[in-house]
Structure 1
Amino acid sequence: MPSASRPLVVDTNILIDLHRGEVIEACFRLPFRFLIPDVIAAECKTPPASMLIAQGWLEEVTFSGEEVAQVVAWAAQWPRVSVNDFFALLAAMREQAILLTGDKALRRVARRHGVDVHGIFWLLEQMVVHYQILSPSNAAQALRSMRMHGSRLPNDLYTQYLDRWGAS
């Protein structure tokens, strides 16, 4: 189990998946600090990040001019990763946080920079196994709902977790 003292940096697709799975409130009962870059908070409308920040569930991270320049340099070096995703990476590096994303290209770059990266399956596992916030059947239903509403979940992991939680 990861240390709850390490913050988690979320990107847009994680928040969208949590919303689609109807487990966003359950997620924020986890004993982690959840951080979101200001540029991602500004773009995230469903769910509205501004509401999650106002409720104290997310903390907004801002950046200096030098940090923005670093992001621009990375974007030129790795064009498959969005500028906003690089802000999530930078926040994770600066805060010594775990980066939560489902974006494959961002995961690769983050690992090259020594950042711990996880996705929605890891987050659900924290809620089910480590903190007992969700039952296995509720987590399986959340996965089905995410997929039904358009989340791009890898088939192998999707099936593995449904089997694990007894709901295939």
Structure 2
Amino acid sequence: MGRVYVSDTNIWIDFRHAGLLEQLFQLPFRLCSTDFVLQELHDIEHEVLIGHGLLVETMDGPAVQRLFGLMAQHNNSSLADVSCYLLAQDTGRPLLTGDGRLRKQAMRDGLQVFGTLWLLDQLVAHAVVSPARASEGLQAMLAHGARLPSADCQQRIRTWDD
């Protein structure tokens, strides 16, 4: 299962709202998060995610100290999201984030960054879900307040619903 992608909190929440959490684990890559992300996911059963293959990285003392230093630079991103940024930076793994500020910072720092729409595209491209199911999922995310680029969302919904 080749590449490993580091996923922040927003991704898990968006895909839970879409009813597509399980499907993420059918993609041809592995997903990982930090222990801080799991602490933020109150209404998603951690055992279920881990059972599907989620890798959970635990931050050690020095990493946690660096994390608090980064928190000041990334004002407004959550501790969990900054922990994913740090993990992606340390491991060279791509970052999956729905946090606009974190995405911009990660791109400035030369990290590979992908988001919710890219993951939906992957689900369709790898025939894990039908285009119609991806459209339903995206609309459910938006109905739950997902902050995604409107034009990109509308274009996908039109394409997938045809």
Report the alpha carbon displacement of residue 37 of structure 1 after superposing the two structures with TM.
Answer: 0.4
What residue ranges of structure 1 are gaps of 5+ in the alignment? Answer: none
Report the alpha carbon displacement of residue 57 of structure 1 after superposing the two structures with TM.
Answer: 2.4
Aligned residue among 84, 102, 108 for 2:104: 108
User: Quick one: distance in 1 between partners of 2:45 and 2:71?
Assistant: 26
Report the alpha carbon displacement of residue 85 of structure 1 after superposing the two structures with TM.
Answer: 1.2
Report the alpha carbon displacement of residue 155 of structure 1 after superposing the two structures with TM.
Answer: 1.1
What residue ranges of structure 2 are gaps of 5+ in the alignment? Answer: none
* Contact preservation (8 Å) 1:19, 1:46: no
* Contact preservation (8 Å) 1:9, 1:99: yes
Displaced runs of 4 or more, over 3 A: none
Report the alpha carbon displacement of residue 62 of structure 1 after superposing the two structures with TM.
Answer: 1.1
2:32 is paired with a residue whose SS is strand
Q: TM-score, normalized by length of structure 2?
A: 0.92
Per-residue Cα deviation, 1:22-47 (whole angstroms, up to 9, x for no partner): 11111111121110100111221222
**Match in the other structure for 1:27:** 24
Aligned length: 162
Is 1:41 the counterpart of 2:38? The answer is yes
User: Equivalences for 1:61-100 in 2 at 5 Å?
Assistant: 61-100=57-96
Please, which moves more after superposition, 93-102 or 119-128? 93-102
Paired amino acid for 2:154: T
1:36 is paired with a residue whose SS is strand
Q: TM-score, normalized by length of structure 1?
A: 0.89
User: Quick one: distance in 1 between partners of 2:52 and 2:129?
Assistant: 21
